[in-house]
Structures are given as structure tokens and as C-alpha cells.
Amino acid sequence: MDANSIISSLTGKFPEDIYDADIESDIRVIAKVKPENVVEVCRYLKEDLSFGHLCCEFGADYPDRNEIEVIYVIGSYDHPVVLTMKAILPRDAPEVESVVPVYWNANWYERETYELFGVKYLNHPNLKPLVLPQEMLGEWPLRKDYEGFPNKTARNLV
């Protein structure tokens, strides 16, 4: 299965949900997805296009566009193509459906994106902070306008 057939199969199945699909190289494919239908697209990718390996899932903050992107990087055990799929969310109320029912290991990725970016995942089995203490929830430290960075409390700065 090569990049061309993957793109045509994906856009053929979801003509309204997948847009800006592009082929970067033989093994890299990029596409954008409507956030409402992420789970169906992921299920199709896993079951029919053998994209069984979720490499990672994370957020990226774009304050000038007032958007937060949730990026899914999905690889495969059977073919070398890696798909980068982006769901674009509004920055003031980012909400997206959780893909844990499809990709089991998305659990921690989503918990981490939740506490670092404030992206709320609907129907997530256990949405609570992973790497930060509970009292830091709500600061969203990886957003670009976070004020606690750089931390200036070190006494003996050079």
C-alpha cells in the first residue's frame, strides 16, 4: 500500500471530513480532519488501511490564528507510510472526541495534552493530570502565553 492509494482511499471514504490531504514523500502523508469525526476516521484507518500503530498524539498552540491543533501521528506495522493527521480546534474552548476506543495507547497522550494545553477530551475513560501535580491544573504550561516560564526563582543564576 503506497501513499497515493492511501490518500485516495481516505478522501474517497470521507469526502467531507478529510481536507488539505497531501503527499510529502513516499512515506509521509499529511491530512486535516474535522474534529467531529476523528474517531470514525481513526477506526477506518486502523481496520481497513492497517494503520495500527499510533506513534504519538499531541497539541500545538497557535495564538495568532487563535487555534490549537491536535496532531495524530499514525504509523503502521505492515507498510512504511506514516500519516500526520491534524484536527483544528478553537483556542478558547478546545474539545475533541477521545480516540482511546480505537487506539488504546492514546490514553496517556490525551491526558498529557489535556493538562499541558487544556484540550478537553470527550468520553475519555480517565481524564486527570498525568505529569503535573493536581494544583497546577488550569495553568496549561505549554501554551505560548504561559506566564510561569521562564522560571526566575533560581537564586544563583549565572
Partner 1 sequence: MDETVGPSEMIVHLGPQHPMMPGPFRLNAKLRGETVVDSEVEMGWIHKGIEKILESKTYLQGITIVDRICYLAAMTNEEAYVGSVEKLAGIEVPERAQYIRVIMEELSRLQSHLLGMGEYASFVGFVSMFMYTIRDREDVMSLIDSVTGARVTHSFLRYGGVKDDLPDGFKDDVEYVFGNLKKAIDNYEELYSTDQIYKARTKGIGVLTADVAKDLGVSGPPLRATGVAFDIRKDEPYLVYKDLDFKVCTQTDGDVYARIQVRLDEMRESMYIIEQCLDQIPSGPIFPEDTPYGKRSPVMRVPAGEVFHRVEDPRGEMGFYMVSDGSDKPYRVKIRGPVYPTLQTLPPLIKGVTVADIVAIAGSMDTCTSEVDR
Partner 2 sequence: MDEIEQTEVEQNDVIDVGYTDVPGTMLTDSNAICDFIKKTKVQDVLNWGRKNSLWFMVNAMGCCGVELLATGMAHYDTDRFGIIPRNSPRHADVLIISGYVTKKYLPALKRIWDQMPAPKWVICFGDCAISGGPFYESYSTHQNVDEVFPVDVFVPGCPPRCEALIQGFVELQKKIEAKKDKGTDY
Binding site for partner 2 (CB under 8 A): 131-133, 136, 139, 141, 146, 148-157
Instruction: Name the residue nearer to partner 2 (CB basis): 56 or 132.
Output: 132
Within 10 angstroms of residue 131's Cβ, the number of other Cβ atoms is 10
Query: Least distance from C-beta 114 to partner 1, angstroms?
Result: 13
What lies within 8 Å, CB to CB, of 34 at 6+ separation is 16, 17, 19, 87
Q: Answer yes or no: are the C-beta atoms of 38 and 115 closer than 8 Å.
A: no
55 binds, among partner 2, partner 1, none (CB under 5 to 8 A by kind): partner 1
77 binds, among partner 1, partner 2, none (CB under 5 to 8 A by kind): partner 1
DSSP letters for 75-122: E-SSS--EEEEEEEEESSS-EEE--TTT-TTHHHHHHHHHHHH-PEEE
Q: Give the residues lining the site for partner 1 (CB under 8 A).
A: 27-28, 30, 52-56, 58, 60-61, 71, 73, 77, 80, 82, 84, 103-105, 107-109, 129-133, 141-142, 146, 149-150
Query: Least distance from C-beta 41 to partner 1, angstroms?
Result: 18
Three cell numbers at 123? 468520553
